[in-house]
Structure 1
């Protein structure tokens, strides 16, 4: 280990791998916007570990996503319903009525977030009879909240952390970054224009050119996704999208109240105007993985979104990161070998060539065959093969999807970030310990049945509820 420089870097010191905890006041007052483990390196702007050709990169037309015929979709839905009926009738663990009821509870807040919102009104403890709608910032004669770009980002990071976002990052939106936006979404052309506020019509979405900064933050996904192929496993996905809707609604209100724009379209229905994965990689929330998801140094592949929004508030950008994960993916292949649809490439080398029109251009990666993947995802209209739980197998199986409460995982991640000579050994040991086969609890137990989750010791589980990172601090 000494020869690798790892002991000096801090593996032998508990203080080097113990995360420092900030309260909100400390975070706002410090230079620490996002705190990664010691082994994560920041690298050049717009130069992530996955190779990107910004000249070759083009805005993706989301109408090219693979579409099933009406007949195929109807058949998959009926297959899902039959699976649901059998699960309830047979009292199958993870597919009982109470399991479906929790899923419906989570879905109630999977709401679409508008492109933007008006500035909110301020009220004291009650509304004034003379002005029941309350008083806006302009009514009160208050100027915009504005500091320097670094302090602006610290202010946003403090609030977004409270609202539930993690690893808050920022990038400047130049002509290259604009290519990460879709050219077309839901038959609406997406364009940037010299306007004061975003405009959405029946045929287009126009974004102000003055929104030159993008804020990106991570929404962790519950490890309940480990119960793949039963309804319990879908709690992580639907819960993540529900979190996104609540967070973005809060964020838009917060930023608009300070006098700035916050532009986002989607929230609980997923990103509708751009690739959240692309922004997550470029902003430094993680690295691209073989599974074509963002891999986080903290959460691995088990994040629902690297959610984002545009703003005209000047911000200090954060660079991409290198934790050795993209390099590891090129030899690991665990997600690909465990993919039930064979949608994830098992090739040794990444490629510039897409697997179909559903892939974008300009990235040297492992393109996903979404024609094979989508039926297993369990999203509305899909998932007949996977059952009502969907799949999420690649996220759960990922070697980096581990709890950092176990110090050995930080040691391994630090080694991976420093050298690739142990990569094959770590993949083998990951298999030997049974990771990726069930739900790994916050106290490092592996549950193989959803019934164990229903009967868990509530005092020992540090879940703090939804919309606060699921207790994964």
Structure 2
């Protein structure tokens, strides 16, 4: 009988999962080319570039045609441009809704209860935990733009242009440009990279107004400009780049402690730095990048889904990717006029897995994440106190009034372990992408092995990683 690593037979392996008699044959729908576990293991791969620079995804991820989202139904006729100035970023902080008030008053108690899942004796952050949290939170996105006395729309505009160098601007095909930008993005520190073309449908995802009240207007002339009342966007700006930043992996697994929250602080302190470099690089080529990374121009989840970076999941605002689970921060957006090749949406079975997993909502003690199935329905404002709920898609919607932004959900997602810590994660993730037979087992990994949630105190004795990122996630 074929052995996996010459130690465990396929039958014994499946029996260990509680699937005696099922065998690997029960999961042959994964790919008819796999005959045993050794072949599945050797086929596993991370997010690297293949020939021609295209993104090579894990073997269990399939691509869909442009504009299709196999795991997210969209009714574009119901999608309307939202007014960002009327959408509170964190309504939880100001809301007088009874649940929001309760959550604020009992935050420390609820936080401890979540963390004690992995650390029963944990009594709160130590002074060194608070010191790390404070150090990582000192420099946030506004620090990069306030000294420059400019907005994020046009950016610094400091890099020399081709014209100033007496050189022609860069001219390349859409495919060449996409490969070039992916290389630059990686160099500057971005993790994932995707492109969506703006058309009459996807334009609806761009906010009608920014939080400062200025309108985003698509104009017929060729004038890119910011005035006191509007941002003028010429029609040549039709390529929306979506990019992400990998969070410190081991800190992410210590959320929702304040030590764990340092992972988000650190990411947000770097995102603007990366964003400025990206914007100035595009300027140096002879084009423009309209900097939308902060969420002022457009929401992150729709463009991340359409660009194929990940899938819409039960965590609502947090996109889950096949390679990094929920360990990414800043689903950043940048609109540009350099011609690019759009990337394709994916089907990795993540949304389908969320149907039965519910791990994130189980540990959301603030009751912000939904426990039910995806729906077209929006939140009722009178009941929830929410000022805004997005329309036009069948999915999950966050109760922003309840959400304390503790990010516990990001620590508990079983996909955080996919293909990174051992072969079994990649195997089960691949199986769950097409059949639910392993879903309960995969969800229980977090419960029994704490792959997604760890004792905060243990971080100080953990192996050190550059920028806190386990190399397996790079």
* Per-residue deviation, 1:72: 6.6
* Per-residue deviation, 1:175: 1.4
- Describe the shift of the 1:202–1:108 C-alpha distance in structure 2 as closer, same or farther (beyond 3 A): farther
Equivalent residue number for residue 437 of structure 1:
453
* Aligned counterparts of 1:398 and 1:369: Cα–Cα separation in 2: 19
The answer on 1:262 being equivalent to 2:289 is: yes
Indicate which of 449, 456, 460 corresponds to 2:456.
Answer: 449
Is the Cα–Cα contact under 8 Å of residues 369 and 397 in structure 2 kept in the other structure? yes
Equivalent residue number for residue 40 of structure 1:
61
Is the Cα–Cα contact under 8 Å of residues 188 and 204 in structure 1 kept in the other structure? yes
* Aligned counterparts of 1:469 and 1:165: Cα–Cα separation in 2: 16
User: What TM-score do you get using the length of structure 1 for normalisation?
Assistant: 0.79
* Per-residue deviation, 1:323: 0.3
SS at match of 1:422: helix
* Aligned counterparts of 1:449 and 1:117: Cα–Cα separation in 2: 38
- Structure 2 counterparts to residues 34-113 of structure 1, below 5 A: 34-48=55-69, 49-62=71-84, 63-65=86-88, 67=91, 95-112=125-142
* Per-residue deviation, 1:21: 5.3
Indicate which of 146, 155, 161 corresponds to 1:117.
Answer: 155
Equivalent residue number for residue 314 of structure 1:
339
- Structure 2 counterparts to residues 221-232 of structure 1, below 5 A: 221-223=247-249, 224-232=251-259
Is the Cα–Cα contact under 8 Å of residues 198 and 263 in structure 1 kept in the other structure? no
Indicate which of 400, 412, 429 corresponds to 2:428.
Answer: 412
Is the Cα–Cα contact under 8 Å of residues 345 and 366 in structure 1 kept in the other structure? yes
Is the Cα–Cα contact under 8 Å of residues 189 and 204 in structure 1 kept in the other structure? yes
Q: Which runs of 5+ in 2 are unaligned?
A: 1-23, 110-121, 146-151, 382-386
Q: When the two structures are aligned, how many residues end up with a matched partner?
A: 412
Can you list the C-alpha shifts for 1:205-251, whole angstroms capped at 9, x where unaligned?
A: 33232111111122222231332343212112112212211110110
- Structure 2 counterparts to residues 296-375 of structure 1, below 5 A: 296-356=321-381, 357-373=387-403
- Structure 2 counterparts to residues 418-433 of structure 1, below 5 A: 418-433=434-449
Can you list the C-alpha shifts for 1:298-351, whole angstroms capped at 9, x where unaligned?
A: 111222122121111111111110000111111211111111111111113533
Is the Cα–Cα contact under 8 Å of residues 355 and 367 in structure 1 kept in the other structure? no
User: What TM-score do you get using the length of structure 2 for normalisation?
Assistant: 0.79
Can you list the C-alpha shifts for 1:24-68, whole angstroms capped at 9, x where unaligned?
A: xxx7xx423322101100012222111111111111223133646
- Describe the shift of the 1:432–1:313 C-alpha distance in structure 2 as closer, same or farther (beyond 3 A): same
* Aligned counterparts of 1:116 and 1:349: Cα–Cα separation in 2: 38
The answer on 1:252 being equivalent to 2:274 is: no
SS at match of 1:184: coil
* Aligned counterparts of 1:313 and 1:414: Cα–Cα separation in 2: 36
* Aligned counterparts of 1:70 and 1:348: Cα–Cα separation in 2: 29
Q: Which runs of 5+ in 1 are unaligned?
A: 84-91, 123-135, 378-390, 439-447
Structure 1 runs, 4 residues or longer, greater than 4 Å off: 7-11, 68-73, 78-83, 468-471
Aligned Cα RMSD in Å?
3.0
Equivalent residue number for residue 133 of structure 1:
none
- Deviation larger for 245-254 or 188-197: 188-197
- Describe the shift of the 1:400–1:197 C-alpha distance in structure 2 as closer, same or farther (beyond 3 A): farther
Equivalent residue number for residue 392 of structure 1:
407
